[in-house]
């Protein structure tokens, strides 16, 4: 296995799929001459030319709509947003056109398109650039929503998303681009809508996704060292389709659950996960399910306040101790 960064995994996925299928093309802000705002498209313009790597104006609704039209007539566009915060301008195109076209056309039009870019908080980007868009799109029938946490999942899920005949919202962790991890050699596909156990454990289940997977893993390591609690970490990997079967199986084994997400608590992904667990595994629970989320406030610029808003290993540890009756 090769050890590469998250951004290199995404770049590899794009290159492999563009080599495999000449209907795949990339468009978005600075994806060509600048190699992408986060260098995910590095080298692709030189390799595939300007017809397949298209720089666009800063007009998200316009180029998202262009991509949707291209998908309707047989191409497979990958639309890059510099940040999912900017994609709010394209929300109408994604939700009212891409997501609904197959149903409203009676199946006459597929929309095989991927909308991708960074989401979530980074470092001191303040309220308008630090939002977690996962629930906004997970709520929409007709969309699939991927939130990979590791280089291997970023590679495998992006390749699967490009090959999918439905529109896929692909939300990358802005703080994950430099993270390294093992990635299989050769063809590597990860099925959309299938969760994964990132750490085995017997005492409590932590269900999470996206970059909070790494917060959960840090918390799990500390819990094992300091409290002899072995936490099982379940990575949802996608939030639509939402695979909670694996989480429920884990809870039936550990009898305790903590659900962790970066986003706001009201109508969050965690609310649905908790609902599924308590309906399907209620009799297995030895304690109420605990939720850990970002605080219900706009993100502050000050680093000291930002640290309080975003979930940390310490907040996860406190929640685990609570469901284990150690507080």
Active site residue ranges: 60, 129
Alpha carbon distance 239, 247 (integer Å): 13
Q: Residue 116 and residue 172: Cα distance in Å, rounded?
A: 7
Contact 84, 131 (CB under 8 A): yes
* β-strand pairing of 180-183 with 2-5: antiparallel
| Closest to 203 measured CA to CA, from 257, 247, 158, 248 | 257
Enter the tokens of residue 246: 């694996």
Three-state SS at 143: coil
User: 144 - beta bridge partners?
Assistant: 168
Nearest to 219 by CA among 231, 203, 235, 202: 231
Whose structure tokens read 């005492």?
203
| String of DSSP letters for 67-117 | HHHHHHTT-EEEEEPS-TTGGGGGHHIIIIIITTHHHHTTTS-----EEEE
| Rounded distance between C-alpha atoms, residue 165 and residue 15, angstroms | 19
Token pair in block for residue 316: 């996860």
User: Of 39, 320, 73, nearest to 206 (Cα)?
Assistant: 320
């Amino acid at each position: 296995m090769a050890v590469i960064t998250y951004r290199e995994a995404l770049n590899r996925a794009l290159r492999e799929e563009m080599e495999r299928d000449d209907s795949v093309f990339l468009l978005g802000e600075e994806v060509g001459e600048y190699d992408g705002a986060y260098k995910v498209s590095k080298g692709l313009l030189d390799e595939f030319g300007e017809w397949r790597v298209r720089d666009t104006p800063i007009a998200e609704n316009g180029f998202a709509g262009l991509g949707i039209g291209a998908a309707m007539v047989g191409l497979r566009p990958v639309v890059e947003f510099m940040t999912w915060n900017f994609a709010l301008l394209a929300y109408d195109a994604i939700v009212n056109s891409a997501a609904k076209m197959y149903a409203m056309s009676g199946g006459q039009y597929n929309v095989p398109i991927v909308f991708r870019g960074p989401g979530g908080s980074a470092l001191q980007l303040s309220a308008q650039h630090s939002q977690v868009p996962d629930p906004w799109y997970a709520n929409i029938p007709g969309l699939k929503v991927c939130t990979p946490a590791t280089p291997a999942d970023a590679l495998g899920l992006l390749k699967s998303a490009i090959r999918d005949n439905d529109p896929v919202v692909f939300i990358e962790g802005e703080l994950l681009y430099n993270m390294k991890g093992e990635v299989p050699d050769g063809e590597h596909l990860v099925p959309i809508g299938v969760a994964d156990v990132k750490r085995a454990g017997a005492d409590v289940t932590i269900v999470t996704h996206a970059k909070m997977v790494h917060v959960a893993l840090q918390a799990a390591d500390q819990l094992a060292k300091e409290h002899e609690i072995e936490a099982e970490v379940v990575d949802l990997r996608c939030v639509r389709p939402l695979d909670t079967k694996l989480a429920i199986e884990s809870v039936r084994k550990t009898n305790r659950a903590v659900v962790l997400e970066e986003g706001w608590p009201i109508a969050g992904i965690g609310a649905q996960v908790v609902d599924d667990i308590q309906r399907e595994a209620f009799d297995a629970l030895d304690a109420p399910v605990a939720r850990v989320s970002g605080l219900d406030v706009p993100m502050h610029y000050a680093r000291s306040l930002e640290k309080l808003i975003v979930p940390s290993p310490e907040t996860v540890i406190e929640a685990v101790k609570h469901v284990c009756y150690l507080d």
